[in-house]
Amino acid sequence: MGDGRDRRGRTAARAERSAEDPYDAALVEADRAARRWLAGVEERPVPPRASPEEVRDALGAELPELGEPAEAVIERLATAIEPGLIAIGSPRFYGWVIGGTQPAALAADWLVSAWDQNTGLRAITPGAVAAEELAGEWILDLLGLPAGSAVGFATGATMSQFAAMAAGRDEVLRRAGWEVATAGLAGGPRVRFIVGAERHGTVDLAGRYLGLGAPVAVAADAEGRIDVDALGTELAAGDGPALVVLQAGNIHSGAFDDFAHAIEVAHRAGAWVHVDGAFGLWAAASPRFASLTAGLAQADSWSTDAHKTLNVPYDCGIAVVRDQPAMLRALSMHASYLQATETGADPHEKVAELSRRARGVPTWAVLRSLGRAGVRELVERLADAARAIAEGLAALPGVEVLNDVVFTQVCIALEDDASTAELSDRLWRGGEVLAMTSRWRDRAVVRFSVSNWRTDAAQAARTVAVVERTLAELRAGR
Ligand SMILES: *Cc1c(COP(=O)(O)O)cnc(C)c1O
């Protein structure tokens, strides 16, 4: 914090600046803190060092009677919160399916906050809407999805699923002669909501939000892919409106459903097909994964995250619906005080929010900064690192790689659940590599989910070396 003179000098300089510009001193402080964090994120221990209670104390639990200058607030915030931060941006963070943030995306996100555009209406915030529309069109192009599909920017994959599945629910009911928008759900035909046994839990959640109830789960194979014959059998066992949710990227195995066949079977039964591709949809940006994504574009809707594989800051998910009018029927509202566009859909009509930040702008920035080749390289780099980690770990004594490593996920187990849990605890305490525990195939597993743009071959090798050392310590009982 420097000596008294420094501090007085800094305070005087700040006071001078803030007299001219009320934002300047706070932004300088935030910039300094952000750079400090980012410069250290690669080498600092990955797990947080402080509990929420410790951070509460450091922040000061009492609401002050009198306020303090913005720059002092920011300095306090950055100092107090830092021990309680987890280094998700570390190239050796393998938790969930998330990673860091790309420079262009982070910088654009700062601007989004500075501009503070409520991005609902084309006519009112044309700048932000233009960047988001371009991002949406580029994503359709990159992922081989039908041009002209509606693209909505929601908070994450959960709410993107919600938006897309809302379109699907209403459309299959409409085809059965039932208008949800006016009649509601009660008394109407029941929508058959069908998923694979290993769908992500948020698919059920979106179904709950939509009043669909619990899904019928059909069998999945050893890698978690939906059994297409079982899907066909389930569909044939009943009739009426149906919504089928498939998966691009299983969080344990990284596996992709057999889209070509599953979608054909579902469409033959008149079902709407949604694909949850929260992290895996990006595989479609590389021809290397063409066999995994074949047939994907035949679905009716898709959801993904930009805050996972693409590494933009939270919160950004993307909902894509082929039939734009179906999406608007489900999600749009009209009011005399809203200046609706006459030249296309407004952004608020494609998500379950009216007011929101311009969260698609960082996605535009990252796509612009990577280009088509860069997105493809990013996805391939993540998969290469996953393969290297899997190969390195498989060579260690007693380590079993459980999944077929087709994309970015690696699931390992030791000889028994207790040892697997112990390995994961030791990795957490060591702090150099963060991989999370889960249960899969009725076993405790440690999951390495490669989702950070900075995880390259060198980081993969370092990760294997850390696990090797940790395992040796575990075996030696040290
Ligand atoms: C992360 C994830 C989700 C949920 O995404 P959020 O952005 O956390 O809402 C859904 N499906 C899959 C496969 C995921 O990995």
Q: What pTM was estimated for this model as a whole? A: 0.94
Q: Compute, in angstroms, the gap from residue 246 CA to the centroid of ligand 1.
A: 13
Q: Which atom from ligand 1 is nearest to the alpha carbon of 199?
A: 13
Give distance in angstroms: CA of 474 to centre of ligand 1: 33
CA of 247 to the centre of ligand 1 (A): 11
- Whole-number Å distance, alpha carbon 49 to ligand 1 midpoint, is 26
∠ at Cα 9 (4, 15), nearest 5°? 125
**Is the pLDDT confidence value at 303 over 70?**
yes
Ligand 1: nearest atom to the Cα of 249:
13
Atom of ligand 1 nearest to the CA of 161: 10
Q: Which residue has the tokens 């998966």?
A: 247
Q: For residue 321, which amino acid is it?
A: V
Residue spans of the domains in the chain: they are 2-84, 103-366, 372-476
Beta strands in 271-355 (DSSP E): 272-276, 301-305, 317-321
Q: How far is the CA of 157 from the centre of ligand 1 (A)?
A: 5
- Residue 52 carries which DSSP code? H
pLDDT for the residue 6:
56
User: What tens digit of pLDDT does each residue of 121-150 get?
Assistant: 998 999 999 999 999 999 999 999 999 999
Percent of all residues in the chain with a pLDDT value above 90, rounded to a whole number: 91
In this structure, the residue with its CA closest to atom 5 of ligand 1 is 157
Which among 160, 96, 89 is positioned nearest to 352, based on CA atoms? 160
Tokens of 466: 């850390």
Rounded to the nearest angstrom, the distance between the alpha carbon of 26 and the centre of ligand 1 is 34
pLDDT on residue 18: 61
What's the confidence (pLDDT) of residue 3?
46
DSSP assignment, residue 349? G
Q: Which of 88, 153, 158, 409 to mutate to test the pocket of ligand 1 (most atoms within 8 A of CB)?
A: 158
**Nearest CA residue ID for atom 12, ligand 1:** 278
Q: Which of 251, 281, 305, 310 to mutate to test the pocket of ligand 1 (most atoms within 8 A of CB)?
A: 305
Q: What angle do CA 389, 391, 395 make, to 5 degrees?
A: 115
Cβ atoms of 401 and 411 within 8 Å: the answer is: yes
Question: Over 60: is that where the pLDDT of 1 sits?
Answer: no
The minimum-distance atom of ligand 1 relative to the CA of 277 is 13
Measured from the CA of 160, which atom of ligand 1 is nearest?
A: 9
- CA 251 to ligand 1 centroid distance, Å: 9
Which segments of 266-408 are extended strands (E)? Answer: 272-276, 301-305, 317-321, 400-401
Location of structure tokens 């060198």: 458
Question: pLDDT band at 15, cuts 50/70/90?
Answer: low
Residue 364: name the closest of 142, 31, 37, 38 by CA: 142
Q: Are 313 and 105 in contact, with CB atoms under 8 Å apart?
A: yes
Distance 358 CA to ligand 1 centre (A): 21
Q: What mean pLDDT comes out for the span 274-288?
A: 98
Neighbours of 275 (CB within 10 A): 31
Confidence of residue 478 (pLDDT cuts 50, 70, 90): confident
Shortest-distance Cα residue to atom 15 of ligand 1: 278
pLDDT tens, position by position, 193-225: 999 999 999 999 999 999 999 999 999 999 999
Distance of alpha carbon 195 from alpha carbon 172, whole angstroms: 16
Q: How far does the centroid of ligand 1 lie from the alpha carbon of residue 172, in Å?
A: 24
CA Rg value for the chain: 24
CATH class assigned to 372-476: alpha beta
pLDDT tens digits along 324-360: 999 999 998 776 666 776 667 899 999 999 999 999 9
Of ligand 1's listed atoms, the one at least distance from the Cα of 202 is 10
What is the distance in A from the centroid of ligand 1 to the CA of 307? 10
The closest-lying atom of ligand 1 relative to the alpha carbon of residue 250 is 13
Pocket of ligand 1 (CB under 6 A): 97, 156-158, 200, 202, 249, 251, 276, 278-279, 305, 317
- CATH classification code of 103-366: 3.40.640.10
